[in-house]
Structure formats: structure tokens, C-alpha cells
Amino acid sequence: MRFNAAHLALLARGQPGSFDREGKLKVYRIPASNSIKPQEITERWCRLKGNLLFLMKKQIQKSEPAEVIVLERCHIVENRDNRNATLSIKFESGEPDLYLEAFTKSDCKSWIAALREANSEGLQKRIHHLRQLIMEIKGSEPTDSLIGEAQQAGAAMIPDPPRLEFSLECRELAATTRERKPNAFVQISVINTQQQSLTVFSSTEIVEGTTDPLFLTGVTFPPEYPICEGTRFKLTVYDVKDKSPEIRSFLGCTTFSVGDLVKSKDQQLTLSLRTSDGTNAVGSIVVSQLRMGEIEDGEVDQIATDAQGQKCTFICESASHRTTSDDKDNSHLMNAVFKNPVCKVYRFQTADSKWMFIREQMAECTLSFNIPKQLMTLYIQEDMMRIQELKELGDLSPHWDNLRKDVINHCRQIISSYQETLTEINKLTGSSFKPSISKAEKYLEFIPVNLHTQRMRVNCPRKTEAAYDVVTVGAPAAHFQGFKNGGLHRLLSRFEAEKKNFSTAYQCIYYSPENTSKAKEVLTSISLLQPLISSLGDQLLHSAQQHSSDSLKEALKTLSDKTEQFVHALKDELVKNALLALYTAQPGYVSKRHSTICNHVDESSPTPKEDTSTPPPLKRQDSIPHHSEYDEEEWDRVWVNVAMSLNCIIAMVDRLLEHENNNQEAGADPSLADVITSHTNGDWHEQLYPLVVTLKDCVKEVVHRAKKSMAFVLLQEAACSIPQGLFLKQRRDVVFSQALAAVACGFVMRLYAGLDDKGFLQQLHTVGLIAQFESLLSTYSDEVGMLEDMEVGISDLRRVTFRIAEAKSDEPSDLQPIVTGRRDYYTVEVPLPREVFEGLPNEIKEGKPLHVYPVLFNIGINQQQTLAERFGDISLQERINQENFKILNEYYRILSEKVPLECLPRFQTQTDLKELLEILHQNIQIKKRKNVEILWLAGTICRRMNGIRFTSCKSAKDRTSMSVTLEQCALLRDEHELSKDYFIRALDCMRSRHTQGGLSEWEDPEAASVADNKSTSRHFYPIALLLVSSHLLVVWLILSLSLLLAKYQ
């Protein structure tokens, strides 16, 4: 590679003051390879100009350049563990990290700030900041050219709140007949003056039997909608019959522009409605601009708006009243994960005849696809690693070698299937959710069905603004594989019962699920601890080279802790016994015992004796006999060598530190002290280096043996599981992928909403969060299998922890959660922008694992559940509710012990949490059909404990939407004093399929998602069917079947 060296040298020799930053720093590198000794620390004069860092040859200002560092695709990290003022530059290319040590901590922080702003990403942030300043000064958006330049530069675009929101009411509508008053609704259309066309945007709900209808559903235009002062709207009023929009008659229409509304007095227009020919007036319509956050005495504050010269500055809220939650709703942080929001706005009356404003927002989540794609990649990597581990077992006897080949072939089939699925998913573009119509498609089986977030923001008089979140998702289940033989819970129980027969047929040793889980845990532990111990050994040598006593002590303490943890992980009889089993499976081994080997593990029964003259052997995890040629103590000696190597390092460090203290005491003779210091300065590294290498070698030997033994355990487990076990593993992967995507979405949403809540953050790192899944599946037919799948998938979420990390940049791609780990343990890392991350508690910033406690409560509510309760079995539902109540109760016990009650949110209904749990327990114990009180209580307890709420049914449409809307109206009634007279109307408004978008779009809300004005993915049906008596339902089913049979006959 050629470069203009002469020009770079000229830039490096620039005049003092022409650089962004310059000064003297200590410079060194730590190579990745253990065979290369670390670089010596040298003091150099450093100069920063643009994105170039020049390292001069000497420590004086006037010296020639020795190196130039391009500060692109790199990360500037402050080394907080080191007491010195040190920073490091980590390169994505894999080069050794460059360490820079300043002489003061303040100087170090100044360098960090300068280096982080030196690259193009820092320039993009400054452009974005300047753009915000322009918006604040001018009171309007930048020109299109500036927006285009900012987007090309990659600046994070922060969208505005809704451009415009208004409400409607009609007065003195003309009745079509004297005997009947109109059932009116208003259709809102946008007029395209250039093309002379109309675009239907939304509609209000239907208000029945009045000539003065007051519409509760408002009209909201999202920030990206292209409106300006001259944009005109057409309002058309229709009279409908039998609540059917298709049977409607035209009453009147009118038009107005955005400028007319904003410039009008009190931002309110009263317009005359006229017939199509414009001759007759049929009433009037009042258009009022909504301003959430400015409610007082039931009316909107009269705040004048100077619209002169403004092109697109119409928003629904005053800047002085924007709340924190609003900023979060519209920040680039939220928009990085939540996409394609659909917003509705309502106004409902409170008990004291005032108005509350509600904005309901639904959004898709990028994690619907991102999390499953990451999981599939991890599944593929884990299975490929498993194949490699099996190959590294070496030569095996023909029987075991054939079993190994069978397992490898099945693993390759799964890998091929996952790779094909991943390739197909990567081809998809467009929306970020899987519609229910695609739930049984093969290449989408890892994707959750209809995963959406729902947020209801409430603003009412004299009360603080509140927000209520819920995640809606289809039940995590393997729809493509079907439910003919049941779901995961039933299949796993049956498989474990039959597994012992499989082990006999394949001449394998039966290992219990606890043993195979332990084997995977050992593999995970050693794979994580070995590189960590190696890295800590390098840090110890670096501290020795620096001749820093404090740094040396700290490095030794960390190394000791991790090495002891490593040794403890291997002090298990399973490892020792597996090594013996592996020895017996090698070629040439002939057992001297003629009795049949028992293949089943029974820890309560003694192992058969080889010889009556020898004492009985100890109870073992396997039933392989002892062999006189195998030295069982060899394994003990191998891992004990690790502990002995560590002890040697500790002793050497103690001796070096003691010698250092003696030198300081002998400092009376300065010349002698200088000689001793200069002599021992290099001895520390030289004396510790061979001991550290020995420790690494011992650890490597232990890892080699342990990996082979645990791989052999898993080989036996897989061999006696073919093919059913691998099929179940694949099914479990599918269900877990859907469940993890949902819980990650909920965790991110709850975290973003609570970043400013100190009590919530304390609860998060002290105890963790409860994740309550509300399921509405029946215990009849295929939904039994779905519920069994869902139970196992949600239970597997207990193996997941979360961590918060600092994002590399504010780009949306760098704010996506990252999944790491393997099937027995996963970690989801949630990146946050630097300014947000710095405000978190130290425990979270240090990477403390954050736990989530998933619980599932199920109550079937449809007609199939009626059949199940009458003629079927509901024991599955009862068992799930009872077991998950114990988890919820245990979480409350831990929460009440470790977190003050002040950290929990406050609600109007101040029922004690303990009392709510007792009521929930009573409802679970009693035998009551369709006891939805269980779901109400569980949801209330979850909200009171700062938890994450999920609502599910088969496809997250009909039953889910009924539950969510009913819960929202109940919250408005209980927490915000919604008037009793408006409860049913509010419920009808939220459930109406006639309030957003064109009429035809609402016939299939999922299909409508591809339209320009995407509607919500919820079907809305009357609740009367759910409230009808179960006896009538049975009669209705019998009559329906009779009519159906008669029709086909």
C-alpha cells in the first residue's frame, strides 16, 4: 500500500497551535499473542489533527514523526480498572490495542473527548447538534437540502411529535327522516390540489341517534406526513344504518386548510356543512386543534400561534409542556428499535365533567427479526462447534465411531436447515413483523407472530401525565411443525420416559437431564474462563513490567479469583467419570468383567462389583467399571497442577513485594537504593513470566481433557436421542426464539421508559424485573399444544440475562441489542448512547447481569374453552397458574426485602400488594369457569411491581385486542376517573375498526399494513359474544352444527 508519506510528515511538523490537541503521553501496545513480549513504555509527543494521531519519535515538541494512527473504525475506551490515567484505542481490524497514559486524570479525559470527536462519526454528531440549534433558534425545521446532507452524513434524525391533531363535533345535523335521527360519522380526506384527487386518511367512530354528535376519536397526522400551511382537508359527514359503513347516505361536506385552523381564534373553526351541489346547509362542524399537556378546566388553553412565514411547524403540543415521556416516544433511541408507529388520539370525559386526552400508539419492533437471526447464527455456531468437539475425541471403537457419525450427520442436517432459513429471512424487506397468515410458513417459524408494542399516554386535568405499556404477541409455538402429538411439555415428558430404552438399544450410558445440563455448563465455563485467565496473566505481566505494586496486587487478586472459579467448575465427579467412560470407548479396550454393563444411571443403587475380594466401589454417575490400566488419579493431578501454579505465582508476587518494601526501608543510602531499584525493575517481569506461562499451559491441558470428556457425555446423550431428541431440540429452538424476541422487545421498551426513574433502575440491578405473560389460549384441540409449547418457551427465558453497554455510536445499527451465549445460557446486551449510559447507576455500567423473571397465567375465554370445561380437561391451565403463582410470590418476597416501597410506582388504587397476591392465590385455588379475575389481578400486580406486560392468544388479534382495550379502559376508569357514562363509549372507540384509514383497509388489518396509512393489527369485535352465558354458547354451537349439516346435505 502506498501513501503520501512526505505530506503526512509535513502535517506532523505543523506550527504549534495548529493541532486539535497535542501533548506528552506514555505509549505502549499489548500484543494478542503470548509468545510476543509486551512493548516497553515510551514517552512520546503526540499530536492530533483531524482524524490523524501523530506519534513523534521523542518526548519533545520538535521531533520527527514515528507513527501516524488513522482514527476511523476504532473505539476510544477509558481504562477505569487501572488507577493510572490510561486510555486505549481498540481497532476493529484486529490490530493490537494502543495504550496512551496521561500524567493526570483530567488530561486523560481531555484526550478521550478529543479523540472521540476526531473521526467522521464525531463530525456527524456535531452536524446533528448544530441542526438542532437551528431548529430551536428559527422555530422551524431546516431546509430540505440541509436534511438531505445530514442524512447522507449519517446523523441520527430525531422525529418531531405529530404535526397536527384535531377533534370534531357536529351541530344541528339535518335528519333524513322525521322519525329517525342520524347515526353520524365523519370521513377525513386530504386534497391533492395538483392531481385534483382525494386521499382518505381516517374516520371517526359512529355516534348514534343525535343531531349534535360529539366524536371522541380525534385525527392525528404523524410527523412524517407531508402537510404544510396550504394543505387542505375535506370533511364528509355520513349517516349510517345498522352500524354498517357500507350502508350509508351522504349528509354534507366542507373543506379547510391547515393555515385556517392554526390562524383561527383559539385554534377552532366552525364550518358549514353543505350538500354536494353546495346549495343547502345541513348543519355545521367544529374543528378544534388538540394540544396535549395544556388541559385546564376541561378546555384547551388559548395559546396564540404565529403561523406567519411557517411552512411545517404545526405540532400537537406546546414546547414548554413536552414531558420526558414524549421525548422518549419520539427520540432516535426509540426509533432505532420501534418502527412504523400508528397513532390514535381520543378525548374522554372524567367524572367531574372535564376532558382527558389519550394518545394510543402501536409500533412494530425490529427485534422481531433481529433476535431470531442472531439466535439462528448462534445455534449454527454451537452445532458446528459440537461437531468439531466430537471429531477431536480421537479414535473410538467401531460402535462408538458409528454413533458419532450418526450424530454428526443429524447435526449437519439441522445446520443446513438453519442456514437455509437464515438465508431466506435475510432476503426479506419491508415491515418488521410476521402476520398471522404466515405463522405456519417454514422459513418464518423462528419469528414471533404479530409482535407489537402498545403505549397509551394519558393527560388529564391536575394530574401528571401517565403512560401504560403492553406488548402483544402470538403465542410462542411451533406452528409449522404442528400439534398432532401435543406441544413441548408433553413431548419432553414422553421423551425422557422413553430415553432409557433408547440408551439400551444404542448401548449408551443414560445421563439424566441434570447431568447433560451440567456437562454443557462445564463446557461453557471453561470456554469463557480459559481466555479470561490468559488475559489476566498478561495484565499481571504488564503490571510487573510497570513495576507498580498496587496494580500488581489488583491484577493478582483478579487472576486468583478467576482461577479458583475455573478449578471449582471442574471439581465434579461427572468429569472424572466421563474420562473413564471415554477411555473404555477407545479402540483396543477390552473389559475384564464378563457381566453386562448397565446402561441406566441410578444414583440410589450401588455399582456392580468387579471382584468379591475387592471392596465395593463408590456410587458413580455412570455404570462403567473401574479398569486396572486406567489411572483415575491422573485427572486429579492435572487440575491440581493449576492450583499449584497459581500458588507459585502468589508466592513470587509476595516475595517481590516484600523485597520492594525492604528496598524502600533501606533508602537511607540513595546510591545503593538506585542500584537495587534499577536491578529489580526488570526482574519482576522476568521472574513472573515463566510462572505465568506454566499456569497457562496447565489450564490448557485441563481444558483439553475436560472438553473431550464432556463432549463424550453429550455424544452419548445425543446418540440415544436420535432422531426424536434432535427433533425436540429443533422445536425448542423455534419456540425459544419467538419467546426471546418478545421478552427482549418488552425489556427494551421498559428500560427506555424508566431511564430517568432512579427507583426503577435500583430495582433493575438489585432484583430484576417480572415479565408477566397473559395467555388467552383454550385447553382444547391444537391450542393445547400451543400452550404446552408456550409454557416451555417462557420457562426457558429464565436462562436469559440482560446487560447494559455503551453504544459505539448513535447510529440505529449500533443501538440494536446483541445476543451472545449458547443454548443453556444467553445474554442480551442492550447498547445505550454515551450520554444516556453515563447517567446509569455504577452497578449497571459495570456490566452487572440483569435478571428477568417470566411468569405465565392462562385463562381460555373462547367457545372452545367452554367445550373444554364442559367435556374436556383443564388440568394443564390449572397447573400452569399454580406453578407460576409460586414464582410471582417468591419474586415479591425478594423485592420486598431488597427494594424500598418508594421505588415502586404509585397508583390511585392503593390496595396492598400482599393483599392482591392473596386474592390471586384464592382465585387460582377455586374452581371457577373462565375466571378472568386471575388475569386482571396478575396484570395489576405486574404493573404495581414495575414489570413488563405481555398479552397473547393464538395470533395476537381478536382475543388479544379485546383484552388490551378492556384493560386500557379499566385503567382510565380506576386511575384517571373516566366517567361511567363514557366507559362503554371509550371501549367502543378503541375497538372500532372504523376510525383510521380507508374502510377497505380495516377488513384485514394485517394486509392493510402495507398501505401508506398502515392501520393497527387488531381486529375489533363486539364483546357481547364473550359475555354471553356458557349455556347459551353450547346451544348456539349445537344449532350451528345442525344448520351446517343441513346445508351440506
Which of the following is catalytic: 312, 953, 969, 989? 953
- The set of cell numbers assigned to 107 is 488530561
Are the CB atoms for 217 and 989 separated by under 8 Å? yes
Q: What are phi and psi of 157, to 5 degrees?
A: -90, 125
Query: For cell 415521556, what's the residue?
Result: 325
Residue burial 865-900, b: 16+ Cβ < 10 Å; e: rest: bbbbbeebebebbeebbeebbebbbebbeebeeebe
- Name the β-bridge partners of 458: 358, 466
Radius of gyration of the chain (CA): 35
Could you give the CA distance from residue 860 to residue 864 in angstroms, rounded to a whole number? 8
**218 Cβ neighbours under 8 A, 6+ residues apart:** 165, 166, 167, 168, 290, 344, 345, 346, 347
Could you give the CA distance from residue 70 to residue 723 in angstroms, rounded to a whole number? 54
Query: For cell 406526513, what's the residue?
Result: 225
Side-chain-side CA neighbours of residue 604 (13 Å) = 0
- The set of cell numbers assigned to 248 is 350509508
Sheet holding 184-192, edge to edge: 197-203, 184-192, 232-241, 244-257, 268-274, 281-289, 164-171, 219-221
Helix (H) or strand (E) holding 342: strand 338-349
Residue burial 159-174, b: 16+ Cβ < 10 Å; e: rest: ebbbbbbbbbbbeebb
**922 Cβ neighbours under 8 A, 6+ residues apart:** none
DSSP string, 59-92: SSSS--EEEEEE-SSEEEEE--SSSS-EEEEEET
Long-range interactions of 147-153: CB distance < 8 A, separation 24+: 153/123, 153/124, 153/127
Are the CB atoms for 617 and 626 separated by under 8 Å? yes
Q: Residue 819 has what DSSP assignment?
A: E
Residue 443 burial (CB count, 10 A): 16
Catalytic annotation on 953?
Answer: yes
Indicate left, alpha or beta for 913 from its phi (over 0: left) and psi (-120 to 50: alpha). alpha
Residue 513 burial (CB count, 10 A): 11
3-state helix, strand, coil in the chain (%, to 5): 45, 20, 35
Burial class (CB in 10 A: 0-12, 13-18, 19+), 671: exposed
Give the total residue count for the chain: 1049
Are the CB atoms for 359 and 220 separated by under 8 Å? yes
Distance (Å) of CA 141 to CA 131, 135, 155, 229, 322: 9, 5, 15, 14, 18
If we measure between CA atoms, which residue out of 528, 716, 718 comes closest to residue 621? 716
**710 Cβ neighbours under 8 A, 6+ residues apart:** 519, 520, 522, 523, 575, 578
The answer to whether the peptide bond before residue 723 is cis (omega within 30 degrees of 0) is yes
Q: What are phi and psi of 915, to 5 degrees?
A: -65, -40
- Three state DSSP letters for 247-283: EEEEEEEEEEEHHHHHHCHHHEEEEEEECCCCCCEEE
DSSP string, 518-555: HHHHHHHHHHHHHHHHHHHHHHHHHHHHHT-HHHHHHH
Positions annotated as catalytic residues are 953
